[in-house]
């Protein structure tokens, strides 16, 4: 069967394109089709490492999970990881090719990347029956239209129909739809085959006059009004939801443990902590600029960062560095992941200016380690065993975790410092070497491994340690949530919401497909 394409574009960023693509992937997968997601160019600090060691955007990984297939860099051939206000690290087919200022990338490199994008699409054609393509931002950004490689140019490349999505929860959805279509070239406007209104709250009957207006004004059918869905844990692409910044402390006597994740300016892979947030006896929140909490935090987590040295400077400027050190010395546990692990050390060196213009900076001094940044990036999947001492790791000896590493730093442990884990499998090969480090008092540890909290038993062990330290003891009966099972359930729930909201018969007609094949 010839591969069918359908593309989801938006009137703006953050209108819900990524989640709708995941929903469509799930629907086609459950309807019996071999389906894959695709986004030619993604800008995000949330990334993932494939089995082959290629780095790609986290959104396409989530979409691949929804489609029931293994992620591949062909699903996201170009990833931009911002390194500053107007520059990014450019990753092509999973491998970094260097940092580029925005003007150089858009003017010089992007037009040359079309062959790479087309090659990735050709490889997907060979393996899948349906490809659901995600656009970026808005196709009506007139300053970028001549050189864009992620919206209408890709739709034209594969002759794909386009669904235009607007977020009504933000307001101005009708104007954004009409304005977007007005700014498109006639041929591109014709390619838009339907409108989807996303994140609707309220009485759908009261919205029908707006639907009639849009269809009459634009000549395009409104193929669905998707409700504002809640309690679905579909991982975010690159934005931490505002609700996670809540500042209220837990009430006295609460049987929840409070975990504070430091919101770094260049935070990466914050989805590492979603499984913790899913646990009902955990209150996880992100500590933002100017919002230093009190003394009742049960665990502090320093997450990954794309600009570790600059983010460490930010912690000092905001007073957060002093707070973290003071809490750690008072006995509050601290865990660092990747860049956060590096910040916990004595010093960070960047002799090649790989991440920053700063050549050296003192770390927080909570771990006796030294990190040096090097030009070569490590991207690999790993399996590891907990081996370190301390309040979390001594009781987890032998627990296996699986995850991935993405970092440019190499960390050396001082004599006598214990690693946190032993890596046993790297990129599918049996190995044995140490990872991470544990402080002398056992209250602080760091690791390069992203995804350790996806491991249900290890995550529950960490939470139970915190409960006992807080004096609330272990739950009488408790069955830890399975991260993977919950994701699969949420994909199915999302697909059901979207299927019931979209005219799927019309979508199948756009694809020239007969509809569901059955289970």
> What residue segments make up the domains of the chain, in order of their start?
4-233, 242-470
- Mark the ranges of the chain whose per-residue pLDDT is less than 70: 235-253, 290, 294, 476-481, 518-519
The verdict on whether 338 is a catalytic residue reads: yes
Distances in Å between the Cα of 28 and the Cα atoms of 39, 59, 111, 297, 434 are 17, 18, 32, 44, 43
Pick the CATH number of 4-233 from 3.30.70.20, 2.40.50.70, 3.40.50.1240, 3.40.50.300: 3.40.50.300
Q: Which residues contact 340 (CB under 8 A, 6 or more apart)?
A: 262, 301, 302, 303, 304, 305, 446
Using alpha carbons, select from 158, 155, 229, 162 the residue that is nearest to residue 195: 162
| pLDDT at site 473 | 80
Given the residues 25, 266, 338, 407, select the one marked as catalytic: 338
The verdict on whether 450 is a catalytic residue reads: yes
Pick the CATH number of 242-470 from 3.90.1010.10, 3.30.360.10, 3.40.50.880, 3.30.365.10: 3.40.50.880
CA angle 380/436/62 to nearest 5° reads: 40
Using alpha carbons, select from 292, 294, 299 the residue that is nearest to residue 259: 299
How far is residue 343's CA from residue 446's CA, in Å, rounded to a whole number?
A: 9
Q: Quick: pLDDT tens for 270-289.
A: 889 999 988 888 999 898 77
How far is residue 393's CA from residue 371's CA, in Å, rounded to a whole number?
A: 22
How far is residue 169's CA from residue 158's CA, in Å, rounded to a whole number?
A: 32
> Any idea of the CA torsion for 92, 95, 99, 101, to the nearest 10 degrees?
10
Identical fold for domains 4-233 and 242-470, yes or no, is yes
Distances in Å between the Cα of 375 and the Cα atoms of 79, 94, 221, 407 are 18, 16, 51, 10
pTM of the model: 0.91
How far is residue 287's CA from residue 270's CA, in Å, rounded to a whole number?
A: 13
Q: Which residues pair with 402 in a beta bridge?
A: 383
Residue 436 region, left (φ>0) first, then alpha (ψ -120 to 50), else beta?
left
How far is residue 240's CA from residue 268's CA, in Å, rounded to a whole number?
A: 11
Check if the beta carbon of residue 3 is closer than 8 Å to that of residue 131: yes
| pLDDT at site 235 | 64
Q: Quick: pLDDT tens for 453-492.
A: 999 999 999 999 999 999 888 775 656 668 888 889 999 9
Q: Which two tokens stand for residue 471?
A: 């004096």
Q: Which residues contact 275 (CB under 8 A, 6 or more apart)?
A: 453, 454, 456, 459, 481, 483
Place of tokens 């193929």: 223
| pLDDT at site 242 | 54
Q: Which residues contact 327 (CB under 8 A, 6 or more apart)?
A: 295, 297, 300, 334
Given the residues 266, 450, 455, 461, select the one marked as catalytic: 450
> Any idea of the CA torsion for 268, 249, 472, 233, to the nearest 10 degrees?
-40
């Amino acid at each position: 069967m010839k591969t069918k394409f359908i593309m989801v574009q938006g009137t703006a960023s953050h209108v819900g394109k990524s989640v709708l693509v995941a929903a469509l992937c799930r629907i086609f997968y459950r309807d019996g089709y071999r389906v894959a997601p695709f986004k030619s160019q993604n800008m995000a600090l949330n990334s993932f490492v494939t089995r082959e060691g290629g780095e790609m955007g986290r959104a396409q990984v989530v979409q691949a999970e929804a489609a029931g297939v293994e992620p591949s860099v062909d699903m996201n051939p170009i990833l931009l990881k911002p390194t500053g206000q107007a520059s990014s690290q450019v990753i092509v087919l999973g491998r970094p090719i260097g940092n580029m200022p925005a003007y150089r990338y858009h003017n010089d490199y992007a037009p040359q990347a079309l062959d790479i994008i087309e090659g990735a699409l050709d490889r997907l054609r060979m393996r899948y029956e349906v490809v659901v393509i995600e656009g970026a931002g808005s196709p009506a950004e007139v300053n970028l239209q001549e050189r864009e490689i992620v919206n209408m140019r890709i739709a034209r490349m594969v002759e794909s129909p386009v669904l235009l999505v607007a977020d009504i929860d933000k307001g101005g959805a009708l104007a954004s739809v009409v304005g977007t279509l007005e700014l498109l070239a006639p041929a591109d406007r014709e390619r838009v085959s339907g409108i989807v209104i996303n994140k609707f709250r309220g009485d759908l009957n009261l919205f029908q006059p707006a639907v009639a207006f849009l269809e009459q004004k634009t000549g395009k059918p409104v193929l669905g009004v998707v409700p504002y869905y809640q309690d679905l844990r579909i991982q975010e692409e690159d934005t931490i939801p505002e609700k996670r910044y809540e500042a209220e402390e837990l009430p006295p006597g609460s049987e929840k443990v409070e975990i504070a994740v430091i919101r770094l300016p260049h935070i990466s892979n914050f989805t590492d902590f979603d499984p913790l947030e899913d646990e009902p006896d955990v209150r996880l929140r992100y500590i933002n600029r100017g919002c230093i909490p009190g003394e009742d935090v049960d665990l502090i987590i320093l997450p990954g960062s794309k600009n570790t040295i600059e983010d460490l400077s930010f912690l000092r400027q905001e007073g957060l560095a002093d707070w973290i050190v003071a809490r750690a010395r008072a006995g509050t546990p601290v865990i660092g992941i990747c860049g956060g692990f590096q910040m916990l050390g004595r010093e960070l060196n960047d002799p090649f200016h790989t991440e920053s213009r700063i050549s050296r900076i003192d770390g927080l001094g909570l771990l006796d380690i030294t990190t040096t940044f090097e030009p070569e990036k490590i991207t690999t999947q790993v399996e590891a065993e907990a081996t370190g001492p301390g309040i979390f790791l001594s009781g987890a000896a032998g627990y296996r975790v699986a995850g991935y590493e993405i970092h440019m730093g190499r960390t050396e442990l001082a004599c006598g410092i214990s690693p946190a884990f032993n890596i046993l499998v790297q990129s599918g090969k049996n190995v044995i070497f140490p990872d991470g480090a544990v402080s002398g008092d056992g209250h602080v540890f760091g690791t390069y491994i992203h995804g350790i909290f996806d491991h249900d038993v290890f995550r529950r062990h960490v939470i139970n340690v915190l409960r006992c330290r807080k004096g609330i003891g272990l739950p009488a009966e408790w069955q830890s949530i399975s991260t993977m099972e919950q994701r699969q359930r949420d994909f199915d729930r999302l697909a059901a919401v979207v299927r019931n909201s979209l005219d799927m018969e019309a979508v199948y007609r756009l694809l020239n497909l007969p509809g569901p094949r059955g289970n």
